[in-house]
Amino acid sequence: MLAACDAFGRTNYERRRARAMVLLLRFTALRISDVATLARDRVRDGCVLLHTQKTGGLVLLPVPTEVLDALNALPTPRGAPVACPYFFWNGVTSRRSVIGIAEGTLASVFKKSGVSKGKTHRFRHTLATEILVKGGTEQDVADVLGISPANVRKHYAKWTPARQRRILNLMKAVHSGTFLAQIDKEAVIQ
């Protein structure tokens, strides 16, 4: 997808914006509306302060340097005042328009990259799955995505090969001889 961003559109302006959007979606799982309207004061000290439009939840997420570099390389949005407070939005056009522009940009990137039926929401699935596979809880995923743990269970806590491997390793540790010896020792003490 990043290669598609570099070959997307007609100008470097469009390519930089597409790259920054993809990286933000990938590493923060923000909704496209939150990416399109991301304010500059929400990025500081290597983190993005997420304030999701849907739930109003706040969470501070560290992001890779690559994301910060892509944001810092962004030109001022077209038609924006000199000290524009946003990365992608000029603050003049309607919120609905900037979201539509962002959706169109990413639809073109999906097409150019060959991702069939690409949707920005897939980035949320990717990050949710990664958090769960790494041992994060459903509450952790809910906090990052700005949703309820019930929605995590319903939409994101699906079986994946990586999650299955983590479960297998966890159960092997549970059933290891050391663990069983500890149980036997505690039974004798009582």
Tens of pLDDT, residue by residue over 130-153, are: 888 888 888 888 888 888 888 888
b/e code 88-120 from CB counts within 10 Å (16+ = b): bbeeeeeeeebbebbeebbebbbebbeeeebeb
pLDDT tens per residue across span 8-37: 888 999 999 999 999 999 999 888 999 999
pLDDT < 50 stretches in the chain: 183, 188, 190
Of 3.40.50.620, 1.10.443.10, 3.40.605.10, 3.40.50.720, which CATH number belongs to 2-116? 1.10.443.10
Joined together, the tokens standing for residue 37 give 């309207």
Predicted pLDDT at 165: 77
d(CA 51, CA 48): 9
Domain residue spans of the chain: 2-116
Predicted pLDDT at 54: 60
